[in-house]
Amino acid sequence: MSRVVLAGAAAAIAAAAGAALIGRGLPPRPVSVAIAPAARAAEAGAPIYYRDPDGKPFYSPTPKKTSDGRDYQPVPAGTDISFDDPEPSADMAPADAKPERKIKYYRNPMGLPDTSPVPKKDSMGMDYIPVYDGDDSDDGTVKLSPGKMQRTGAKSEPVTRQPISSIIRAPGTVQEDERRVSVVALRFEGFVESVANVTTGDHVHKGQVLMNVYSPALSSAAAEYLSAVNAGATGKELKGARRRLENLDTPEPAIKELERTRDISLSIPWLAPRDGEIVARNAVNGMRAGPGDVLFRIADHRLVWVVIDVAERDLSQVSVGTKVTIKPRGLGGKTFTGTVALIYPHLNAQTRTARIRVELPNPDELLRPEMYVDAEIEIGSPDPVLAVPESAVLDDGTRQQVLIDKGDGRFEPREVKLGRRGGGYVEIAEGVSEGERTVTSANFLIDAESNLKAALKGFAEASSPKSTEPAAANTGARP
């Protein structure tokens, strides 16, 4: 049998293995076909096998055509036909090749914490995997071969500075501004002689007449003041008579009218103290009213509050001045923008939420008290911070770490402290520097490799002094 035929047979075996996997619907696995030194000495240029012209994993030891009639391409003996990088043997290595690396120990092929100083097989007959010098460096890094990096799809990105922002969504309601609510009440015993044509819901203006009031106390104070005026009193005497009217909350226009006409009216018009809507009208024609009885309640809705319930876990990210977008559910997509004016000091014990207040101008009075709204609170800082993609962080609940790409297939696990999250990125408060590259894809696989390396190294160091197994041993027994 010629040397070329031997080489062709080796290639045919590789082709058959790849075709068998493809026939079962499986992707072809990397196959290493080492050509014997004698085969490489065959006549230069003589084909040792033929391969598909489109690069598909189809091979033939003899000339062949594709289904569309094209010839398979010949592969001469000098062509590298391996699908992975096999370890070169001593007789294959060129003169300037690096010396063979020293094997430190062998590890269990299934990843179990079991090592051996000599070659051996596990209980299923699988060979232990050699670990070479340099594969388990003491600098805390883990090294992956180029083939393994390609198979795992490991990718990395540099650490950059960028703003981190996100949105907290929470429900809320529109409330009246407590500072813009007034009540109309008497400070004396009196009677409502008549009520103006105003009802609940009407908008009134400051100084508008709400009702006419009669009171003996009010008439007595008016008579005393008029007497002082008619007598030409000045100084403290006149001022004291006027102050008595003011203490009864007599409207200023009624006092001026008394000074002008010098006549005491049977009833005095009572005026609205502010612009706003009448939200309560308790005054009725002819009713008797005592001191402090609320006859009207008026609220100004040109400025309203939006009270929002924020979850306890998000409260630390909200501060006074934070921008908030308000979307009332009943206004068909209209939005309003404001800022946080107050964070209430107490939590709701039942819902574990905190209340924050946003003050919104409401000139058209579209926002009505008790209206439901959806709020979007923009949290974050406009200042750029060190940030990495969220996929780069490995978080086991007790510690967070990233994998630093050191180049040449080496990766260093590094513990970090995290800050804010938003937009698919997370702030790194401590642990990395700008420009360092972090692994963003397949980092869980690299982390598992790192943990396995650390476990095997510790096991090997603990068991190496006790190992006395002879070099010729090749059984399934454990050391």
Is pTM beyond 0.75? Reply is no
Whether 203 has a pLDDT exceeding 90, the answer reads: yes
CB 408 within 8 A of CB 372: no
| pLDDT tens-digit series, residues 275-305 | 999 999 999 999 999 999 999 999 999 999 9
Domain ranges of the chain: 3-76, 101-154+442-479, 168-176+301-380, 188-296
Mean pLDDT across the stretch 198-209? 95
pLDDT for the residue numbered 85: 44
Whether 51 has a pLDDT exceeding 70, the answer reads: yes
pLDDT for the residue numbered 291: 95
| pLDDT tens-digit series, residues 134-185 | 555 555 567 766 766 677 777 888 999 988 888 999 999 999 999 999 999 9
Mean pLDDT across the stretch 415-425? 86
pLDDT for the residue numbered 232: 81
pLDDT for the residue numbered 451: 62
| Highest mean pLDDT, choosing among 33-42, 82-91, 205-214, 238-247 | 205-214
Mean pLDDT across the stretch 443-451? 64
Whether 19 has a pLDDT exceeding 50, the answer reads: no
| Highest mean pLDDT, choosing among 38-52, 71-85, 159-173, 447-461 | 159-173
> What average pLDDT does the chain have?
79
Task: Identify which has the larger pLDDT, 224 or 466.
Answer: 224
Phi, psi of 244 (to 5 degrees): -65, -40
pLDDT for the residue numbered 67: 83
CATH 3.20.20.70 assigned to 188-296: no
| Class of CATH domain 168-176+301-380 | mainly beta
Whether 40 has a pLDDT exceeding 90, the answer reads: no
pLDDT for the residue numbered 445: 67
Whether 33 has a pLDDT exceeding 50, the answer reads: no
pLDDT for the residue numbered 371: 96
pLDDT for the residue numbered 7: 43
Task: Identify which has the larger pLDDT, 45 or 369.
Answer: 369
pLDDT for the residue numbered 469: 45
